[in-house]
Chain A
């Protein structure tokens, strides 16, 4: 039988499963009982079968740092992470609020800059953002929607409060793992679902398609939607193909599209066909070689002109990256007050601004206690985990920060909550985060399909797939 006891007697972080007194939280009790009944050997045999099935299905991602560019299965932990209906209701409201505020901010910085004129956010911070796109100034995007799809990264602090760690407003990935994890868990461990009413996740693709069709240029009744991928060598290609298949839309590469007279067409076996909406999974810089990186072969020459002429919708809009710049992040609560006249429901993690001399001095003096993040990187690349870093690493970042303070922010280390996880045949506590996905169309839709990422290394607080992270099925309980 599996020992579900946490490995620390007294945890310094919030434990998802156990109350501080060691008894399971009520919503985890039936799960703990089901796992106990299965027994260790049975569980391990089923885990083996699941891993084989994931490999055969090709549920993999590509590791860029790996010279061979090999495909790997994203490690899947079979112990689900459970979120109660009450917790979810609050997250839903908090996420909706953030997304509406960020969208309003994006509209504003590209139309009139009210928030900058009223000096609520420093103008130079926006203008110096690598993802602030001057080509987008005064461009009207369909229905004024910029962040059609976002992934909001949440963590739980020591007291169990959900905090927002970052807003991903460009091309957040991970939803395919949510869909696949649920599917394999239902097949491999049907017994665990007994005594629970879990919200289904499999209508995510149709909810996404609703948003994409909603933003089609005016007057088009049956818009033609495509998903634009960089191709099979992209780390998230599996996700692109899954979403295209489940939405029933074409998965296209840049070379499949062509722009003629400011309209976008796809090359088919029976000639050219119009494209109205592009769900792109390519960064801004690669979208149109005429405007951005000239030697990019991933994009479509002339796409920007078609977009500005209003003949095609692009999701997410071009230029949304300024909304998830890590140096802008600390102003999101301010955006919520400014645009919505509401108080933030989800708090931020305290963040130091390295461009401010006083704060920078504090950061440089406390590098060994802080997390330093590059404001333009993602995926856990280009960051320093102070308490775990070597002296040389700290020195390197000290130089980087002093040279380019705008490129860095620093945050205190938050002890992420932990969840029981199967490692090497035994149950141990590992740190987790939570990435719900928000869809912005007629309103904000937050499907109960969130990704729980888990840091599989003991004590690690880094959950990114590229850095040894795995994932769990996430159960949002029905109210």
Chain B
């Protein structure tokens, strides 16, 4: 397939996943800020700082959110078109990528993304906040999950679909790592672990498999190492690796590109290391390393399949 098309599919997958993740993070935190964190002891501010960090922006401590945190952070993460990771930006970038490879996509897949774009384009922050952001955020999540479902159900599961999957799961791992980096759950009450689980869409799956009174480390172990949970780092690494091998046609257990080599190392670590060893330097150092791994992996994939070639040889 065309390198440019692979490039667009990869970024389409990433931005679809990003919009969905940001929508979930905002929903979880906006609703929590209405009761649990509403006390004026600075906890609301801590909460929104962590949201901003998930979205990729570390606020300096001297910047005070001044009680306007909810509206400002929500606006920045959802509607700010200058912020490349905001929901409107992600949806717009996803749609532009989809448009540039319109002939590769099925009508169903294209329409899901186009309809969502037209919806987002028709919304503004004031009216969304007036009726409460849940409806808007729900629509984003539904649209993006509709995209995932439609692409699974209507596209050929060949190289195009594999690049889309790689983009989706790489972004998912990246967001999970960023959430882990942004929230300190150890030495905090259980509700912080609960917030982490909800932001990763993991609270029910976690509860179903836990057999004792859970502790923060159990939640961390689930998010990082759960074998069958589709948002754990381990699951994402396996999914990316499988798709990369499908694309390169190299047998499992070997590597054809630097990206596959990196994935092999990562998978071995996540498959065979006990959680206490994984987190031996502390969860946040581990999370920071994972964020970096994802960024390196993205560069490796780009170098292997869609290098920014000059116009002439």
Contact = CB atoms under 8 A, between A and B. Distances in A.
Given A55-B118, A57-B111, A255-B4, A241 B247 contact: no
A269 B305 contact: yes
B66 interface: no
Nearest to A226: B2
B48 interface: no
Given A231-B100, A245-B102, A301-B312, A268 B114 contact: no
Interface string A233-267: 00001101110110000111101101010000011
A56 interface: yes
Contact of A266 (B2, B110, B111, B312): B2
Given A56-B111, A58-B110, A58-B114, A232 B2 contact: no
A240 B99 CA distance: 11
B110 A256 contact: no
B103 interface: yes
Nearest to A302: B312
A253 B7 CA distance: 14
B173 to A, nearest CB: 22
B1 interface: yes
Interface residues of A, number: 28
Contact of B107 (A57, A244, A266, A267): A57
B224 to A, nearest CB: 31
Given A58-B110, A255-B4, A269-B1, A297 B311 contact: yes
A268 B3 contact: yes
B103 A251 contact: yes
B111 A267 contact: no
Contacts of B1: 268-269
Contacts of B6: 269
A25 to B, nearest CB: 37
B96 A232 contact: yes
Given A260-B313, A269-B159, A57 B2 contact: no
How would you classify the secondary structure of chain B's contact residues: helix, strand, loop or mixed?
helix
A258 B99 CA distance: 23
Interface residues of B, number: 27
Contact of B311 (A55, A241, A255, A266): A255
A59 B296 CA distance: 39
Nearest to A58: B114
B111 A256 contact: no
Task: Identify the interface centre among A57, A241, A297: most chain B CB within 10 Å of its CB.
Answer: A241
B111 A269 contact: no
B103 A244 contact: yes
Nearest to B107: A57
Task: Identify the interface centre among A242, A250, A297: most chain B CB within 10 Å of its CB.
Answer: A250
B116 to A, nearest CB: 10
A269 B96 contact: no
B103 A232 contact: no
Contacts of A240: 103
B306 interface: yes
Contacts of A260: 313
A251 B306 CA distance: 17
Contacts of A258: 312-313
A231 B96 CA distance: 11
B95 to A, nearest CB: 9
Nearest to A231: B100
A268 B163 CA distance: 13
B11 to A, nearest CB: 14
B115 interface: yes
B63 interface: no
B313 A256 contact: no
B309 interface: yes
A52 to B, nearest CB: 10
Interface in B97-148: 99-104, 107, 110-111, 114-115, 118
Given A231-B100, A250-B103, A251-B101, 7 more contacts: A58-B110, A232-B96, A237-B102, A242-B103, A252-B4, A269-B3, A269-B247
29 contacts: A55-B118, A56-B111, A57-B110, A57-B111, A58-B111, A58-B114, A231-B100, A232-B96, A237-B99, A238-B102, A241-B99, A241-B102, A241-B103, A242-B103, A245-B103, A250-B2, A250-B103, A251-B102, A252-B2, A255-B309, A255-B311, A256-B3, A258-B313, A267-B309, A268-B2, A269-B6, A269-B159, A301-B311, A301-B312
